[in-house]
Amino acid sequence: MAGPKAAITADPLSFNGWPRDPAKRRIKFIEEYLIVPKGHGAGKKVKLREFQKQIIIDAYAPGIRTGLCSMPRGNGKSGLAAMMGLAEMFLGPMSPEVYIVASDLRQARIIFNIAKRMVQLNPELDERVQIFQDRLYLPHGDATMTPLPADYDALQGLDPTFQIVDELHTVTEKVWEAVVSAAGKRPESLTLAISTPANSPDTVMWRLVEHGRSGDDPQFYFKEYAAPDGCAVDDREAWKIANPALGCEQPFLAEDALVAVMKTIREPVFRQLRLGQWVTGVEGWMPWGLWDSVKDDQRDVQPGERIVLAFDGSASGDSTVLLGCTVHDPHLFIIGLWENPGDQRWRVPRAEVTRTVNEAFEKYDVAELAADPWGWRSEIESWQQTHGERRVIEWNTAHAQRMAPATDRLFQAVKEGTVSHDGNKDLASHISHCVAKSTALGDLVAKDRKNSPRKIDAAVCAIVGLDRAAFYGKKKRRGRVAAF
C-alpha cells in the first residue's frame, strides 16, 4: 500500500548566501523551488507578481504578529497561502509548525492540497518532505504543515510559527481568539488571515477591518483590495483596483471571466466576492451602512421623558428584548437584552425581566408598553395589573397587517434620518441579520433561514417601538384639570 516515505536520505537544502531578511528569503524560496500546480502558468516555476511580493514583505515586516489581507476571489489567495506555508516550513525558526485554519477541514485541505502538489512537482522537495494524509512533515528542521477546521477545541495546545486563516468571514470570535492566543507562545510567530469580505458587519472580520483601517496598531498588518465606494458595477477600472491579479503585469485573472460572472450572479454578491466591497445582499433589509448613519450615542434619554416600550420575549433560544423609543424626536435605545450565552440549561431570568420593566415605568413617563404575547401572557397580565391595561397592550409581531406598515415606517425613518438610535451593538447586529420578506401588505423582516442562530428580536422591537411612538406623537395628550 502506498504511503509516506519511510526515511529521508537526501541532504538538507542549503540556503547559504541567501538574504537574511525574512521576506526576501521567502520570496527567493518560492520563486526558486515552487512550481505552479494548475491554471495560469501551470508546470512552470512560480513568478510572484509585485502585489504578492508586497503582501509577503508587509506581513513579515519587523514587529508584525497578526495580519489581514482582504481581497476578492480569483486573485490567487489559496495559492499564495500555500506558498507562504511551504516557505515557512523550510525557512522558519526551529521546529516550525504551520497551520491552515478554515471553516471546516474540507476548506482547509484546499490550501493543504495545493502545497502538497507543489511538493510533488519538484523532485528536490518531494525527496525531502514526507506526505501524510493529515500533514506534511520535513524531518530536516522537524517542520510540519497541518490543515485544521475552525473549531475551538481543535485549536488548543498548538505552538505555531505561522498560521493561515482562510476566509476569515466564516470564523467566529471565539475561534479567532483561540488562533491568536496560540500564536503568542513563540517570540516569532505570524497569523495571517486572507479572505473575501463578509455580507454582514456582525463578524470578527469586520471588526478587524475597522481595526486595520484605523492604522493605530503597529503589530497589525492590513491590506484591503476593494473597488471604490459608489463605483458602477461594470466599471473596468474599478475592477482593476479591486483585483490586483487583473491589473498587474502578466495578469492571471481575465476580464472576460469577470464579465461572465457578472451576468450570472446578483449585483451585491458580485460586489462582495469580485469587487471586495462590504455590502448586504438584495434580500437584506437595510442597505450597508444605513443603520449606522443615524447613530447618536451621545443622546441621553432623561428620567421622566415621554417614551413607549416594546417587548419581545423568548424562553431560551432567541433573545428577550426590552426597548424604548422617545415619543418626541424619536430615539431608539435598548433597556434590557437577555440572550443565551451558549448554555443548554439557560433560561431567561423572568423575574429580572419583570424588575427591569417596572424600573422603566418608574424612571420614564411610559405612554405604553407593546408586548408580543407569545410565551409571556402571565407576565403581561401581571404588568397590566401593576401599570394598567391601557398602558400595557399585546402586540402580536406575527400579525402582518400591523407589522408590514410598521416595518416600512422604520425603514423610511432611517432612510430620511428622522429617527436615531443609541449605537447598541446588539441592536445593530439584529438589524443587520434581517432579510426582507415581500408580502402583499409590504415587506416584513425575517431571519435568513429557519432556525438560524442570527437573532432579529431587537430589530422587531425597534419596528414596534417606533410605530407606537409615532402613534403617541400624533395623539394630543389630555391635559390635567386643576380645581381651585
Ordered by where they begin, the domains of the chain are 22-225 (3.40.50.300), 291-473 (3.30.420.240)
C-alpha grid cell, residue 282:
438584495
Asked if the model's pLDDT at residue 291 lies above 80, the reply is yes
| Confidence tier at 367 by pLDDT (50, 70, 90) | very high
333 Cα distance to chain centroid: 24
pLDDT in tens, 246-289: 989 999 999 999 998 888 777 788 888 999 998 765 567 887 78
N- to C-terminal Cα distance for the chain?
105
Contact present, 428 and 291 (Cβ < 8 Å): yes
| Confidence tier at 6 by pLDDT (50, 70, 90) | low
Answer yes or no: pTM beyond 0.85.
Answer: no
173-210 as b/e, with b when 16 or more CB fall inside 10 Å?
Answer: eebbebbbebbeebeebbbbbbbbbbbbbbbbbbebbe
d(CA 161, CA 92): 7
Is 435 strand, coil or helix? Answer: strand
d(CA 458, CA 250): 50
Please tell me which of 171-175, 316-320, 455-459 the model is most confident about, judged by mean pLDDT. Answer: 455-459
What are the phi and psi torsion angles at 269 (to 5°)? Answer: -70, -40
pLDDT in tens, 168-227: 988 888 899 989 887 767 777 899 999 999 877 778 999 999 999 999 999 999 999 999
**What average pLDDT does range 295-312 have in this prediction?**
97
DSSP one-letter string for 59-98: HTSTT--EEEEE--TTS-HHHHHHHHHHHHHHHSSSS-EE
CB proximity list for 232: less than 8 A, separation 6 or greater: 238
| Confidence tier at 1 by pLDDT (50, 70, 90) | very low
d(CA 167, CA 321): 32
- How many C-beta atoms surround the C-beta of residue 15 within 10 A? 13
pLDDT at 5 (0 to 100): 62
The per-residue pLDDT of the chain, averaged, comes to 91
**What average pLDDT does range 20-40 have in this prediction?**
96
Query: Burial level of 236, CB count in 10 A (0-12/13-18/19+)?
Result: exposed
**pLDDT-wise least confident of 105-114, 264-273, 334-343, 427-436:** 264-273
pLDDT at 125 (0 to 100): 97
pLDDT in tens, 58-80: 999 999 999 999 999 999 999 99
Which DSSP helix (H) or strand (E) runs through 399? none
Smallest CA-to-CA distance from 41 within 250, 248, 224 is with 250
Per DSSP, 292 falls in state G
pLDDT at 417 (0 to 100): 96
**What average pLDDT does range 219-238 have in this prediction?**
94
pLDDT at 341 (0 to 100): 84
Place of cell 408586548: 371
CB proximity list for 194: less than 8 A, separation 6 or greater: 68, 69, 71, 77, 80, 81, 164, 165, 166, 167, 168
d(CA 68, CA 221): 6
Q: Name the maximum alpha-carbon separation found in the chain.
A: 109
**What average pLDDT does range 1-24 have in this prediction?**
84
> What is the 3 state secondary structure string of 306-356?
EEEEEEECCCCCCCEEEEEEECCCCEEEEEEEECCCCCCCCCCCHHHHHHH
Say what the alpha-carbon torsion angle 176, 182, 183, 186 is, to the nearest 10 degrees.
170
Contact present, 193 and 224 (Cβ < 8 Å): no
